[in-house]
A and B are shown apart, each in its own frame.
Chain A
Amino acid sequence: MSNTTFAPVRDRFRTIARTIVPEAEALDEAGWAELESIVEQGLASRPSSVRRQLRLFVRALDLLPLLRFGHTFRALDRRRRTRFLLAVQDARLLLVRRGFWGLRTLIFMGYYGRAGAAAAIGYRADVRGWEIRR
């Protein structure tokens, strides 16, 4: 993740990702590297301004809970992290809701885009179709 969008905010990004997909808790370093490289590929064709905004958004998500809980996002337990993100998801400002939707979409892409995750949830579509399922 050295030169990637979320490298400078890696811990913050991973804490958000673990809150969005609880199973990410079980990822080892190789798993995280795969997730982060998928996210990066997904962002590759986007303008650098989008990547900057996303990084800023991650920083803001980490700091904002200070106002409500007196702790950064990273320092909260899962229950409070979830409560906080639910509020962000429902924010009055469209810009904030959109930002969160974009971030969660990237995290889903990184997590469920891995062949391992697809297999783990029991997704079995195969080019051979019925041939291997009858």
Chain B
Amino acid sequence: MANLASDFIGIKSPNPFWLASAPPTDKEYNVRRAFEAGWGGVVWKTLGSEGPPVVNVNGPRYGAIWGADRRLLGLNNIELITDRSLEVNLREIKSVKRDYPDRALIISLMVPCDEDSWSDILKRIEDTGADGVELNFGCPHGMAERGMGAAVGQVPEYIEMVTRWVKKHSRMPCIVKLTPNITDVRKPAEAALRGGADAVSLINTINSITSVDLDDFAPEPTIDGKGTHGGYCGPAVKPIALNMVAEIARNPETANLPMSGIGGVTTWRDAAEFMALGAGNVQVCTAAMTYGFKVVQEMISGLSDYMDRKGFTSTSELVGRAVPNVTDWQYLNLNYVTKAKIDEDACIKCGRCYAACEDTSHQAIDMSEDRVFSVKDEECVACNLCVNVCPIEGCITMERVAPGQLDQRTGKVVPEEYGNWLEHPNNPGNTCAAE
């Protein structure tokens, strides 16, 4: 079994699977059970300033999207930060950390946007024994209206300023949690780095309305006839989160900024993908909220088996391995030509590829009287739609047309050499080829 031990900005944990700051980490009872189940670390549910805690709604706070068999695909919430008193939380954190010294315990914080508030809270948590702080600049609902959470996270200058305060008033490692509700995630990441952050974590939840009740004409979840946007998370958000992680990883300015990957991590494979794109570890919320703490056992065995298969002895060998292969569209090799190929023996003759290609793409699939489906190489642009809609995995494959061979569609021989848009004669910005 591969060694999954993780060192994230100096914070050690037996594995790279942390629970994200959320209900699973809202109290001692939960966190102890999480550690017993095998989680490597937790980011404690976000704490606010001293004084009366926030209150949550008393109607439904979650909404969801399901597959036909009620598999939960996406979750949305309008929960706020912890609604328990600061004193109780701090006492519990201290007691848990004392009993689980080998696990990572990070405290998530969100207080008003002034230096005193931050220096106060940092003082209060100093003697808990916690391993670090995470600044919640991401919460998209409820707190933003009060000038916290996403209201800070959407303004890079504020991120930088607050991060600077935190580094000034505390020696703890500092992770800045980013909101995805912005246009370019590199900007807040750069700001965090400038402010002195040791790492960023992303993504927090995405502004969302899960559905609308078409009888009451109210968004879900509905409270007394009204609803509000919530934060979206779970499997549905993973592709968005992966891209944001990759954007930061390949941005020269932030390339060395450690990241904790969050957003839809449900299986070991999701975790490995985040890590391959540069995340040093991952945080999980919805998968635990859906299936309970035990899911971590599958993540541990799956990642470990994968690493054994690959011959990786440490998770650091996986981290960032896919980053060099993430590029801009303009650098993609236009001389790489493929054609769809249908395996007639595997084909069950549903005709989906035909309908998709015929109706919405390039009329490149032929359907015979007796339902034999085949690709017309002279029409196929290799868009991959048929592969994506075919219900049989591996039935349609993309086969490369080797350099030197004729591309039936263009009537041209496939060039040997790499050639991208920048060099393409159709590119108006390309002066040399236009001669």
Chain B associates with chain A: no
Q: A residues touching B (Cβ–Cβ < 8 Å)?
A: none
Q: B residues touching A (Cβ–Cβ < 8 Å)?
A: none
